[in-house]
A and B are shown apart, each in its own frame.
Chain A
Amino acid sequence: MLAYFLLLVPLPPLGGFLLLALDPYRLERRAVMAVALAAGIAPLVLFLPVALGYFAGSIGDTIAPAFTLNFGQFEVALAMQLDALSAIAALTVTVVASCVMIYAADYMASARVADLRRFFALMNLFLAGMLSVVMAADSIVFFLGWELMGLCSFFLISYNMNSPRAFAAGRKAFVMTRIADAALLAGLLLLFLEATSVRIADLIPAGLAAPEQRAVVIAVLLLVGALGKSAQLPFQTWLPTAMAGPTPVSALLHSATMVAAGAILLIRFAPLIEAHPGVAAATAIAGVATAVFGALCAVAQTDIKRLLAYSSISQIGFMLLAVGMGAPGVAMAHFVVHALFKSLLFMSAGVLSHASGGTTEIRRLRGSAYAAPISFATYVVGAAALAGFPILSAGWWSKEAVLGAAVMAGPFGQFLWLVALGSAALTGVYAYRPVWSALRSPVEPLPAIKENWLAVGPLIFLATASVLGSFLVGPIVRTMGGTVPHAGLGVEVMGALAAIAGLIGSVVVSFSPVWSARIKRARRLRAGMQMDAIYYAFLVRPYRRVVHKLSGRNARKDTSHEAETDRTDGGMGDPVGTATVNLGLWLARVVTAPFVPDRFDLVTMRSTREVRRAGVWARRLQTGRLRTYVMAIAFGLGVLVILGWGMTWG
């Protein structure tokens, strides 16, 4: 019974997608909203009782089989599962998604109906994908949901179809995640060959039992997949530009859930990562490096959405650190808390930027605190959680647990702890910057906007959740089968001091003229260390040269960075892409062209003509005269009698 209930959870958003995307009839604005909201909130309604039952202990780990196929020694079994990870993650996803959907109903209110349908259809499809990732009991459903999210991400970043920049951003995100997805697919397939089954419960022991070299390769491939999806170093470049999408997209996809899917992947396969100290160390180093990198870049941002984007990759870096330190439960707790406060931050930043005239520049947010006081208050709560304000905010508890896990992991961990502590302090520096900016008195008084309850309701709920989330950290870690690390009072005090230092630092960079000028000049850091340009120079341009050479085009033409990133036609001669087209044309020429006055066609056409003629002839039998029919019946009867008589002869 319950098993089938699990399968139902991702279905409403999928149905919402099908209805909104494929319904051929015009839908009213209200109908679109109603379908989108119903489909977006239904998973929460369906899953909440299951999750509560699981946490209360009345429901155990369950696997809901959907479809099973056996061939040879291999077994392909599609299924959904309920365990500690999927219960916590799916509940977080459904809660955050419901809040974002309600908020989006207000945020997108001025969009055209066709755009609205597209937007909500993709958001619902994304939700279905994310739910299948977190609830999957097998690698196929997992990968399917993973790819679905990547696809929706591409479409939603490029939502604004008039902007070439949005298209370039979507394309970059798609290509970057695709590179990592290829690694993930390879890793999952290698695991499948080891286990001869796609069940995740079978994959992990098989991966552990695999020979050393193969196991390392698998673990590294999975790690690369997670790094790409979570925009960790060296794949981080796609996330800041992905902010070209609408704010609800950033709130749901590019902060709270989708980019955190990499962390979910690593938590799911944590035993494989932990089994090899080298891979675990690589995970932790990638996490810490991204945490510091993201925090540094975020400090230098002048755009609030880009600031929050860099903070996302920085926070996910903390999750990776926890996984690398052998504490996936702690990573899970940070995932939950981060999802709550980051979606809150994005959504309240969206309201604040509406209030200050639609700009997302931090400088121009001046005075928006007075125009939209409720959203400002919720933003402050979110920023406190992001910066890890001691004791009061949920972010402090989860970050403290991550730092504690690092300290307790030996000298290497303590080194990483120091770096992470610096990153935590930097988090404070950037997190409060928009707050101070919004508090300043405006240059000209902003008109107070009406804060719609559709927008503010989710904000208040999420703000409450990011304070009360403090009480969730311990239970989540214990549910995941770990213990909350207590590394001693000194470490905790250091964490609190780092957060307070961050607060002071943010005041300094916001109000000291020297420092704010320095931030204004930090152009290199603002552009994410210009990694985009480096990748362009060392990877994209050589690749394009090779492609141009192979396709015989002039490589010199049109190689400037701007010209190519802003180009939308994509009319590049691609030898791999044109190969299929050429093959098709050749096949058409060789195979079908000789039959162009097609003989088969001629035969069928002639036969239809004959059938018509036969019909004309047969119509003559139908005289309508009774006498004719009587004669025919009598004749037929006579023939039958003679036949019957002849039969009896033998």
Chain B
Amino acid sequence: MTPLNILLVLSAGLFFAGLFGVAARRTILMQLISLEIMLSGPALGFVAVGAYHGSVEGTGMFLMVLGLAAAEVALGLAIYLHMRRATGGDSDLAHRLRG
């Protein structure tokens, strides 16, 4: 196992852990946290591969993922606040597509 492979396995593990979280949890807040974990997995992969090839694109990609995650969390939390008032923060109860 080269260090790169260890890092890639770690990033895949993060991704699947996040995916499991999104699928298994019913609390919207926990699902949002799991989404962040899902995003961090590939981000780690970008950084690792960038460092392996000695190029700066990996780090740049990571910064973009970071910005994307920040925007997504900002929107997601706003929606969460609204849905919490309607459903009490349970995503299964929010299945009618109505505010």
List residues of A whose CB falls within 8 A of some B CB: 623-627, 630-631, 634
Contact = CB atoms under 8 A, between A and B. Distances in A.
B78 interface: no
A624 B97 contact: yes
A627 B95 contact: no
A625 B92 contact: yes
Contact of A631 (B23, B26, B92, B96): B23
B78 to A, nearest CB: 17
Contacts of A631: 23
A630 B23 contact: yes
B65 interface: no
A634 B23 contact: yes
Given A631-B23, A634-B19, A634-B23, A626 B31 contact: yes
Nearest to B19: A634
B33 interface: no
B37 interface: no
A447 B23 CA distance: 100
DSSP class of A's interface residues: helix, strand, loop or mixed?
helix
Please indicate which of the listed interface residues B23, B31, B91, B97 has the most CB atoms of chain A within 10 Å of its own CB.
B23
Contacts of B91: 625-627
Contacts of A623: 95
Nearest to B25: A627
Nearest to A634: B19
A625 B26 CA distance: 10
A634 B94 CA distance: 21
Contacts of B95: 623-626
A302 B42 CA distance: 109
Given A624-B96, A626-B94, 7 more contacts: A624-B94, A625-B91, A625-B95, A627-B26, A627-B92, A630-B19, A634-B23
A623 B95 CA distance: 7
Contacts of B9: none
B47 to A, nearest CB: 22
Contacts of B31: 626
B22 interface: yes
Please indicate which of the listed interface residues A625, A626, A631, A634 has the most CB atoms of chain B within 10 Å of its own CB.
A626
Contacts of A624: 94-97
B41 to A, nearest CB: 14
Interface residues of B, number: 12
Interface string B20-59: 0011101000010000000000000000000000000000
Nearest to B28: A626
Nearest to A622: B95
B46 to A, nearest CB: 19
Nearest to A632: B23
Nearest to B24: A627
Contacts of B24: 627
Contacts of A627: 22-24, 26, 91-92
Interface of B: 19, 22-24, 26, 31, 91-92, 94-97
A638 to B, nearest CB: 10
A627 B22 CA distance: 7
Contacts of B22: 626-627, 630
A627 B21 CA distance: 10
11 contacts: A623-B95, A624-B94, A625-B95, A626-B22, A626-B31, A626-B94, A627-B24, A627-B26, A630-B19, A630-B23, A631-B23
A623 B94 CA distance: 11
A634 B19 CA distance: 8
B31 to A, nearest CB: 7
B25 to A, nearest CB: 8
A540 to B, nearest CB: 79
A39 B44 CA distance: 79
B23 to A, nearest CB: 5
Nearest to B31: A626
Contacts of A626: 22, 31, 91-92, 94-95
Contacts of A625: 91-92, 95
Nearest to B95: A624
A305 B53 CA distance: 108
A555 to B, nearest CB: 81
A248 B95 CA distance: 75
Nearest to A631: B23
A631 B26 CA distance: 13
A630 B94 CA distance: 15
Contacts of A634: 19, 23
Contacts of A630: 19, 22-23
A31 to B, nearest CB: 51
A630 B92 CA distance: 12
B9 to A, nearest CB: 15
A634 to B, nearest CB: 6
A574 B92 CA distance: 78
A555 B35 CA distance: 97
A62 to B, nearest CB: 69
A500 to B, nearest CB: 100
Nearest to A627: B23
Contacts of B19: 630, 634
A626 B95 CA distance: 8
A531 to B, nearest CB: 86
Contacts of B23: 627, 630-631, 634
Nearest to B21: A630
A282 B38 CA distance: 104
A531 B85 CA distance: 99
Contacts of B97: 624
A630 B22 CA distance: 7
B97 to A, nearest CB: 7
A626 B19 CA distance: 12
A634 B31 CA distance: 15
B98 to A, nearest CB: 10
A627 B96 CA distance: 14
A523 B41 CA distance: 115
A630 B96 CA distance: 17
B72 to A, nearest CB: 15
**A-B pairs with the 6 shortest C-beta distances?**
A624-B95, A626-B91, A630-B23, A630-B22, A631-B23, A625-B95
A46 to B, nearest CB: 62
Nearest to A626: B91
A625 B90 CA distance: 10
A637 to B, nearest CB: 9
A230 B22 CA distance: 93
A625 B24 CA distance: 12
A112 B31 CA distance: 77
A635 to B, nearest CB: 10
Contacts of B92: 625-627
A625 B96 CA distance: 9
A627 B25 CA distance: 8
A625 B95 CA distance: 5
